[in-house]
Amino acid sequence: MKNHNQPVAVEGYPFIGLFAFVTLVLALLGWAFLTFLALCLTLFSVYFFRNPERVVPGDAEAVVAPADGKIVFVGKVNDERCFHGEAVKVSIFMSIFNVHVNRVPFSGKIVDMFYNKGQFLNASLDKASLDNEQGGIILEAANGKRLLFVQIAGLIARRIVTYPKVGDLLNKGERYGLIRFGSRVDVYFPADAEVIVRLGERTVAGETIIGYLR
């Protein structure tokens, strides 16, 4: 899987390199103010694509947050893509200041994936869950339980990156993709799962426990 040890996600290298080159050119031309602006963009690109290590909880039944950000929705919904009925959805909104490398919420095997083109609405709006461009993974755990997690594009985010493929075995907390530049990730639990997060809480990808698959 990509970005396993890199302190900065590889998807950010082209942006960092471009802004760094522009900074150098402007500096050689002696344009101080523009050089400063370009340097700020370079440093922000490094900051945006940062890829910190995380400590994954040892509880085998715990489901961890797939993204850094803020909980913008928790509640029951109808889902036909994985559960064909009632499910519990947790939505995490990522601002441009959050880490954007996404992590696997639970260990298991990918049994299906999908990618749907759509709109680029503000990702903090709940209708973005269905209307926006998105890519989802249906994961089956060793106990037979399933979990659906969906990367959703947003108003500014126009690029969803997902590394694994159907049939891959994923480990909880490992990196599996990212979204440029700011968006959301939805997690769909079985209706009988225990979800412990609340609206407005902050999450840390790979560390914050958002629920349990008993």
Residues catalogued as catalytic? 183
Can you tell me the distance from the alpha carbon of 95 to that of 68, in angstroms, rounded to the nearest whole number? 9
The answer to whether the beta carbons of residues 49 and 86 sit under 8 Å apart is no
Residues 6+ apart with CB under 8 A from 201: 70, 71
Q: Is 151 left (phi over 0), alpha (psi -120 to 50) or beta?
A: beta
In angstroms, the CA 207 to CA 15 distance is 28
Structural contact between residues 103 and 175, judged by C-beta atoms closer than 8 angstroms: yes
Residue 4 φ/ψ, nearest 5 degrees: -70, -40
Distance from C-alpha of 34 to C-alpha of 104, rounded to nearest angstrom: 40
* Spatial separation of the C-alpha atoms in residues 56 and 173, rounded to whole Å: 6
**Backbone φ and ψ of 43, nearest 5°:** -65, -35
